Amino acid sequence: METTATAARPFKDANRVIVSVLAPAEKKTLRFLAARMPAAVNSDHLTVLALVAMLGAGLSYWYARYSPAGLVLVAVCLAVNWFGDSLDGTLARYRNHQRPRYGYYVDHVVDAFGALFLLGGLALSGYMHPMLAMGLLVGFLMLSAETYLAAHVLGEFRITHFQLGPTEMRILLAIGTLWLLVRPTVQLAGQSFRLFDVGGVIAIAGMFVTLVTTAMVHTRQLYRAEPIPGREKGRL
């Protein structure tokens, strides 16, 4: 009964906005891979693969506390996560097997758990202060919440900001992680800091600026679209 009611409930998929440096090349690559994916593999398999890969990345960060090999494993897991996470939706669309409600819900629940696994492992790695790793997790979840709210009320699902999307962030993280093998610390103002502590502070600041900026833009859009009844349309 509950399943029937859910299926009957209207659902309008938000317009996906992807404007990033690698988006055009990535789109072609994903369609190439989707066309050659074995019939036995479906989008659910790829989603599970992405989640397992992110768990592997978190465990690899933890392992890096004891062996540098863990850092190499992190880069490998991030590549596998890209494959599963980016290809699952493309494969569903290529085969015309879209399930908008199911896909939207499952993908973003998996993203939340994936962030927890990754940043939890980073907090245990010894390469970043645990509080900074938790700050990154909070920032990610707050940005996610704003994105999902905007998708619901504005019908626009934007997963890229300032020409950077999940793929670019994975690449930057992988490069930074491998760089830890060469130079895990940086010198600033004559003092030595962990590379990922500096990177974490910059990332948190960037998330905060992005969150505030997008929240202000979307609030202004909604204020203008829905002025107070009986008053002239105001400007926020």
Q: Does a structural domain hold residue 233? A: no
Residue 3 in this model has a pLDDT that exceeds 60: no
Give the whole-number percent of the chain exceeding pLDDT 90. 62
Backbone angles phi, psi at 61, to 5 degrees: -60, -45
In a domain, 221, yes or no: yes
What sign does the CA torsion over 113, 118, 119, 125 have? Answer: positive
182 or 228, higher pLDDT: 182
Higher pLDDT, 98 or 78: 78
pLDDT of residue 157: 76
Structure confidence at residue 99 (pLDDT): 87
Statement: residue 202 has pLDDT above 70: yes
Q: How many distinct structural domains can be found in the chain?
A: 1
CATH number of the domain within which 202 lies: 1.20.120.1760
pLDDT above 70 (res 6): no
Mean pLDDT of the chain: 88
Indicate the range of 31-35, 43-47, 76-80, 101-105 predicted with least confidence: 101-105
Residue 230 included in any domain: no
Q: Look up the domain containing 133 and give its range.
A: 13-225
Q: Which of 44-48, 137-141, 150-154 is the least confident region? A: 150-154
Q: For residue range 51-61, what is the model confidence (pLDDT) as tens digits?
A: 999 999 999 99
| Lowest mean pLDDT segment, chosen from 23-27, 81-85, 214-218 | 23-27
| Whole-number pLDDT of residue 161 | 75
Inside any domain, residue 234: no
Is pLDDT larger for residue 228 or for residue 129?
129
Q: Is residue 235 part of a domain?
A: no
* Residue entry with tokens 């994903």: 30
60 domain residue, yes or no: yes
1 pLDDT band, cuts 50/70/90, is very low
**Residue whose token pair is 């938790």:** 134
In a domain, 236, yes or no: no
pLDDT at residue 138, as a whole number: 96
Q: Is the pLDDT of residue 14 over 90?
A: no
- Residue 188 scores a pLDDT above 60: yes
pLDDT digits (tens, 9 = 90+) for 87-145: 988 998 899 888 888 988 999 999 999 999 999 999 999 999 999 999 999 999 999 99
